[in-house]
Amino acid sequence: MTVSAKERTPVADPVVPGLVVEGLRKRYGDHTAVDGVSFSLAPGASLAIVGESGCGKTTTVRMLVGLERPDGGTVRLDGRDRSARPRGRAERLARAREIQMVFQDPYLSLDPRVSVSGCLDEVLRLHTGLGPAGRRARVAELLDQVGLGAREASALPRGLSGGQRQRVAIARALAVEPRVLVLDEAVAALDVSIQAQILELLGAIRRESGIGYLFVTHDLAVVRHIADEVLVLKSGQVVETGPASRVLDTPEHPYTRLLLNSVPHRSHPRPGR
Amino acid sequence: MTTTTSPAPYRRPGLRRLRVLGQGPMFTVSVAVLVALVLVALLAPVLAPYDPEALDLASSLVGTGADHLLGTDQSGRDVLSRLLHGARTGLLGPLLVVTVSTLLGTLIGVVAAWRGGWADTVLSRSMDMVFAIPGLLLAILLVTVVGSGMTAPVIAMAVAYTPYVGRLVRGIARQEKARPYIEAYRVQGWSGWTVSVRHLLPNIAPTVLAQSAMNFGYALMDLAALSYLGFGVQPPTADWGAMINEGQSAVQQGAMLPALAPSACIVLAVVAFGIVGEGLADRIAKRER
């Protein structure tokens, strides 16, 4: 305990670039949802967190974005701690610009009363000093980046399909130009053909922007497509971690093998081929 | 139970009734009744053929006729004129009660839901305490302190209705707060206050409004009951509850209208508010699906 406290003195600590998570812990009553999870995500890298439902993967990323407070452990981005409650508005906004999140269900993650352009405009108003004209241009740019046009811009969420809504959610997350994008089962609620399109889009965005991805999923075919590295969670603990191809092709931990064997079919429609 | 008769399409039993309440004629009629009530209340001085408080003991308990469409009461006052003017106090009281309890209850409910933890515990337990005090009793207590009239019953009812609104708002606000779109705003870095006022509140407002419509009816009834008991609006001011009280003795003399007419008005208003409130709630439920 005393040793780790000494290690954490900011002056002595060399700044590790990217996202560094150490010994993350969260309890709900008697149940330990996340039990000492550590990993790191280099800038621009892509890590998939896999595991069955209830393994703590969603709780883990919710602590990273600040929707839950960890009971123990640290989350740091480029050396800046973000595990404690933010002190004041400036820190809250700075943290928001570090990590953004795309939620699982695009039918629930957009405010039903706010139009697509309004939803993007809000974020820009909060985070940038752009004037109305500048924001309009940036909204158009963001929509273009996710493959949406002027027709969708004026629509309310209820006028859009699931895939289109998820594109809006992605644009909204990109609006602050985050360092890391957390995607919590971001394609799980979509049709398979739409899934492929969204994964393709996410791949293109990462190549262009260099944003790091943290992809929470239970779908191993998705992992192969999107992630460089994989982290396997079981009952809130990391059981295996490594490069995606290695973990998927030659899993070392029995639980990972079990996960791989429980996939009904290994061939998943891959976009672009 | 399997039957051999031709299979009729299965219908959920409550569905037809809901449709009548939600969009059918009952809802429309109820809205019309409420609009009429408001107009009557606003235009009472113009519409009323007589001064509602003018005594004319010579023409006590005159039956229906061309001079007095609904007859006169024991003191010879025109029942119709009193009914029309009674709509003013009848609606003003509940309006104040509902406005105050809705604002206060919404504030308490949203704060309890958003902050959670000890704030939620303190607010929820405080609401439970107010729940435990019957509203009418509170009103009667307050009347003995402040004196009879409209003020004490309105304050008491506003206090008594606040926890109903607060509990409802706390429940739906907690649900709404857990929705990803609210969480997305939090991840964007908005303050809790901004998210709850700008995004959470407008999305739960329709449900709160539907409840307020129903509360309006209940408050109207409670305030009428207090006036009937003599704690509320005092004679000679025209008030439906007080009119029933005054008309009671006339019933024994065979004149039903002085008591029956205000009773009918109260029933009509309460039922109309109930149907409109339920209809609004159904529409919201339908839209959410």
Closest by alpha carbon to B135, among B212, B231, B265?
B231
Contact across the interface for B199 and A127, Cβ inside 8 Å: no
Interface test with B, best of A59, A75, A111, A166 (most B CBs within 10 A): A111
Q: What is the pLDDT of residue A267?
A: 52
**Token output for B100:** 């105050």
Answer whether residue B243 shows pLDDT above 80: yes
Instruction: Answer whether residue B1 shows pLDDT above 60.
Output: no
Q: How far is CA B179 from CA B2, B45, B185, in A?
A: 42, 50, 10
- A114-132: pLDDT as tens digits: 999 999 999 999 999 999 9
Q: Which residues of A touch B180 (CB under 8 A)?
A: 103-105, 108-109
Question: For residue A165, what is the nearest residue in chain B, using CA coordinates?
Answer: B181
Contact residues, chain B, for A99 at CB < 8 Å: 187
Chain B residues in contact with A97 (beta carbon < 8 A): 189
Mean pLDDT over residues B3-16, rounded? 43
More confident residue, A108 or A5: A108
The reply to whether residue A113 touches residue B188, judged by beta carbons under 8 angstroms, is no
Show residues of chain A in contact with B190, CB under 8 Å.
126
What average pLDDT score do residues A244-252 get?
90
Query: Among all residues of chain A, which has the CA nearest to that of B202?
Result: A113
**Position A174 pLDDT exceeds 90:** yes
Out of A67, A112, A122, the one facing B187 most closely (by C-beta) is A67
**Residue A268 confidence (pLDDT) above 60:** no
Considering CB atoms only, which of B189, B199, B203 is closest to A92? B189
Q: Which chain B residues touch A127 with a CB distance below 8 Å? A: 188-189
pLDDT in tens, B132-181: 988 889 999 999 898 888 899 999 999 999 999 999 999 999 999 999 99
Nearest CA in chain A to B176: A108
Is the CB of residue A226 less than 8 Å away from at least one CB of chain B? no
> Which value does ipTM take for this structure?
0.88
Q: Which range has the worst mean pLDDT, A240-244, B192-196, B240-244, B283-287?
A: B283-287
Minimal Cβ distance to B180: which of A66, A108, A127? A108
d(CA B157, CA B174): 26
pTM over 0.80: yes
Q: What is residue A159's DSSP assignment?
A: G
Domains and CATH numbers, chain A: 27-106+180-261 (3.40.50.300)
Q: Is the pLDDT of residue B5 over 70?
A: no
**Residue B23 — pLDDT band, cuts 50, 70, 90?**
low
pLDDT band at B64 (very low <50, low <70, confident <90, very high): confident
Condensed to tens digits (0 to 9), the pLDDT of residues B108-139 reads 999 999 999 999 999 999 999 999 988 889 99
Burial of A261 (0-12, 13-18, 19+ CB in 10 A): exposed
For residue B236, what pLDDT is reported? 81
Better-predicted residue by pLDDT, A152 or B70: A152
Q: DSSP class of residue B9?
A: P
* A255 reaches B (C-beta below 8 A): no
For residue B180, give the chain A residue with the closest CA.
A109
Q: What is the DSSP letter of B78?
A: B
Contact B184 A66 (CB under 8 A): no
CB contact under 8 A, A109 and B184: yes
How far is residue A235's CA from residue B26's CA, in Å, rounded to a whole number? 55
Contact B211, B285 (CB under 8 A): no
| Average per-residue pLDDT for chain A | 89
Reported as a pLDDT band with limits 50, 70 and 90, residue A218 is confident
**Which pLDDT tens digit goes with each residue over A84-109?**
899 999 999 999 999 999 999 998 99
- Inter-residue contact B216 to B273 (CB < 8 Å): yes
B contacts of A105 (beta carbons < 8 Å): 180
Walk me through the domains of chain B, giving residue ranges and CATH numbers.
Answer: 18-49+71-288 (1.10.3720.10)
Q: Of B175, B177, B181, which to mutate for an interface test with A (greatest number of A Cβ within 10 Å)? A: B181
What pLDDT does B49 receive? 84
Choose among B183, B188, B202: nearest Cβ to A96.
Answer: B188
Higher pLDDT, B197 or A12: B197
Q: How close, in Å, is residue A97 to chain B by CA atoms?
A: 8
- Report the pLDDT averaged over residues B75-89: 89
B188–A126 CB contact, under 8 Å: yes
Amino acid B200: pLDDT: 94
CB contact under 8 A, A103 and B180: yes
C-alpha separations of A160 from A168, A218, B203 in Å? 10, 26, 19
A146 closest CA partner among A164, A122, A123:
A164
Are B97 and B157 in contact, with CB atoms under 8 Å apart? yes
pLDDT band at A141 (very low <50, low <70, confident <90, very high): very high
In chain A, positions 163-222, which contact chain B (CB-CB < 8 Å)? 169, 172, 176
How high is the mean pLDDT of chain B? 86
What is the per-residue pLDDT for A13?
58
The mean pLDDT of A220-237, rounded to a whole number, is 90
d(CA A272, nearest CA chain B) in Å: 31
